[in-house]
Amino acid sequence: MAARRWGIDSLGAAVAMASRYQPPPRTNIFPPVSPDSPAALSAAFAAAINARDVEAALALWIEDSAILRPDGETIRGREAIGAALHALVEGGASVEVDVAELYGAGDVALAVGTLTINGSDGDGKPYSQRSQSVVIYTRGPDGEWRLAIDAPWGLPSA
C-alpha cells in the first residue's frame, strides 16, 4: 500500500511541477514591432477589400510592390496588383487577416499570419480558403506603413 501511495504522491508532485513550468522566452533576431502600425495596415486592407473599395486597398501598397504567387511568379507594381484586387472584389470575396507574429528593423517590418478568403465560385458554390501568409511592410518618409511584398499563400517551396 505504501508503494501505491508513493506513486500517487509522485504523480501529484509531477503535475504540480508541470503546472509551474514556464517555457524559456522565445528569442528572435528582431524585436517585436508595436502591433498598432503594420498590423493596423493589414486590418485596413481587409476592411477596404470587404467594403469593395479597391482604390483604398491599393493606396496601402508602395508603387513598386509585389505579390508572390504560390508558383514563385510575381505580380509586380500597383497597376498589376490593382487588377488582381479588382478580380478578388468582383468575385465577391471577403478577406480576414490575422497577424500572428510581427518583427521589425527600422523602417521594415515582417508579418506572419493567416489569410482567410471567403466567397462563391462561378457556380455560386461557397468556398473558404485559408493560408499562412508572409508580408513585408515598409515605412515611407511620411512615417506611414505600406505593403511592399505580400506572399498570401506563404513562401513557395524551392
Confidence of residue 156 (pLDDT cuts 50, 70, 90): confident
Q: Is 91 helix (H, G, I), strand (E, B) or coil?
A: coil
Positive or negative: CA dihedral 118, 49, 85, 150 = negative
pLDDT at 8 over 90: no
Domains of the chain: 30-151 (3.10.450.50)
Give 95-131 pLDDT, tens digit per residue.
Answer: 999 999 999 999 999 999 999 999 888 788 898 999 9
Strands across the sheet containing 145-151: 74-76, 61-68, 145-151, 126-139, 108-120, 94-105
User: Counting Cβ atoms within 10 Å, is residue 53 exposed (0-12), middle (13-18) or buried (19+)?
Assistant: middle
Coil, strand or helix: which one is 149?
strand
Q: 3-state SS string over 10-30?
A: HHHHHHHHHHHCCCCCCCCCC
The pLDDT mean for the chain works out to: 81
Query: Which three three-digit cell numbers place residue 103?
Result: 518583427
| pLDDT for the residue 158 | 63
Could you give the CA distance from residue 54 to residue 65 in angstroms, rounded to a whole number? Answer: 15
- Per-residue pLDDT reduced to its tens digit, 39-73: 888 988 999 999 999 999 999 999 999 999 989 89
pLDDT for the residue numbered 134? 95
pTM for this prediction: 0.73
User: DSSP secondary-structure letter at 32?
Assistant: B
More confident residue, 24 or 117: 117
Read out DSSP for 43-94?
HHHHHHHHTT-HHHHHTTEEEEEEEE-TTS-EEEHHHHHHHHHHHHHHTT-E
